Amino acid sequence: MKQTLQLRLGQHLTMTPQLQQAIRLLQLSSLELQTEIQEALDANPLLEMDEEGDAAPEAEAAPGEPVDAAEDALSETPADGAADIPEDLPVDSNWDDIYDSLAPVGPGSAPASDFDPREIEYNSRPGGTSLHEHLTWQMDLTPFSPTDRAIAEFIIDAIGDDGFLTLSIEEIHEALAGEQELAPEEIEAVLHRIQNFDPPGIAARDLRESLLLQLRQYPIEHPRLAQAIELVEQHFERLAARDYAQIMRRMKLDEEALKDVLQLIQSLNPRPGSQITDQQPEYIVPDVIVTKVGERWKVELNPDAAPRLRVNPTYASLAREVRNPEDNTYIKNQLQEARWFIKSLMSRNETLLKVATAIVERQTGFLEHGEEAMQALVLHDIAEAVDMHESTISRVTNKKYMHTPRGIFELKYFFSSHVSTADGGECSATAIRARIRKLIAEEDPKKPLSDSKLAGILADLGINVARRTVAKYREAMNIPPSNERKRLA
């Protein structure tokens, strides 16, 4: 192979560590940014929070004054006339009395040695209790034989997060048959005991059984309980199909009575296990706050989501005083990193504020009138307005939230595709979904609107959308089709 020399002229982008840091901070959410800031504060002694207006301590030792003197100043008698506290106070109790008072009393109390620490663990768990732990705790309080307890443990393990039993009696019997001889009736008996646990409707094998378990825990004197049990037990398929005419004819109920029965059934929980979870709620901290001042909309950063940092002046001055070369180099490097971090943080805040302001200027109609006034908006529109690349706008709007008088929304919520209108204009997909939701909310419950009728009504309003598009928007909003929305008025 012949070797030759070639001269090429080209351009390429080299990302410096400072640029990489700025881009990384730009795409972080508020919670991720808080973690990043805390890690920077822990790693860099020259960085500190800029907390203005900190209250001074009540007593502080002067330079050169022993600490004991400051403590004595704090322990002096106040000048408001309070009486002096004598050094020797009468003792009105001793340790034996205290320990005796902690012991359980009463004829039904257990001795201290029989105390079960699992109860404290269950009641004081900071992260909540899972459904499995909740059922296991009740199992521990229920008298089971060793065989029944083994069956109960297996059944509880087979209960899903929604509260339904994921295995049949035959599958449970087949799984336990290798360990010990059991009859399916024994498993069925243990299952019935677990179905009496909290929450009502737990360990059911299907929705019908779960509803029956919940209904049977109602007081027997409930006026419509017998009809509700009969409806679920004997006419569940007609109830699922909303065949109210057949139900009224077969159960000999008038419309008002059927309404009361349906109201009782609708008060039940179709997913009984969902009300018990160990998941912690996730709270959204808005990055931007939008308020209306007079006739103008004001956009500002949330100070809680964008804390202010500064370089510690005392440590920064050491860079000029330290004579040790290694220490001097360390301080200078930390000082430079602190300045870069603060500059990247300021750049992030400025970009976020600029993009949020541009969004508010284009979505004033939404802030004034709601979703039906939402304008069609894409990333390219904001990128041209703030003179940035679309990728930068995408990073800024990802996992960032805006607090408005209408609620908290992710910045990406304000971007949506558009549909052409009859007069040549544009209508955003968000506005179309809001109109569909409003039309369904105002429809006759006895004759709900089909997707074709919804498309026709929108066409009369000048919005040309196909039936498939209406169906797609309806499904995205978790709205059932017309045959499942039919109900008694």
> pLDDT value at position 104?
42
Tell me what the mean pLDDT of segment 304-313 comes to.
Answer: 83
Model confidence at 370, in pLDDT bands (50, 70, 90)?
A: confident
Residue 15: the pLDDT is: 66
Mean pLDDT of the chain: 80
Report strand pairing: 401-404 vs 288-293.
parallel
Which pLDDT score, from 0 to 100, does residue 216 have? 93
Beta bridge partners of 288: 301, 402
**Predicted local confidence at residue 66, as pLDDT:** 39
CATH class of 418-485: mainly alpha
**Where, residue-wise, is CATH 1.10.10.60 in the chain?**
418-485
pLDDT over 90, % of the chain: 33
pLDDT of residue 404 exceeding 90: yes
Residue 422 has pLDDT above 80, yes or no: no
- Indicate whether 137 pLDDT > 90: yes
Is the pLDDT at 143 greater than 70? The verdict is yes
- Name 410's bridge partners: 401
Q: Residue 424's pLDDT is what? A: 62
pLDDT in tens, 212-247: 999 999 988 888 899 999 999 999 999 988 888 899
Element (H, E) at 140: helix 131-140
CA 161 to CA 158: how far, in whole Å? 10
The answer for residues whose C-beta is within 8 angstroms of residue 145's C-beta and 6 or more apart is none
Question: What is the reported pTM?
Answer: 0.65
The label of the residue with tokens 């800029």 reads 50
Q: pLDDT by residue (tens digit) across 440-478?
A: 988 888 888 898 999 899 888 888 888 898 999 899 898
pLDDT at position 283 is 79
Q: How far is CA 210 from CA 124, 191, 224, 426, in A?
A: 30, 13, 18, 48
Least Cα distance to 309 among 56, 53, 46, 54 occurs for 46
DSSP summary character for residue 372: G
Q: What is the enclosing helix (H) or strand (E) of 288?
A: strand 288-293
Which residues are registered as beta bridge partners of 402?
Answer: 288, 409
Is residue 410 predicted with pLDDT exceeding 70?
A: yes
Q: Is residue 94 pLDDT above 60, yes or no? A: no
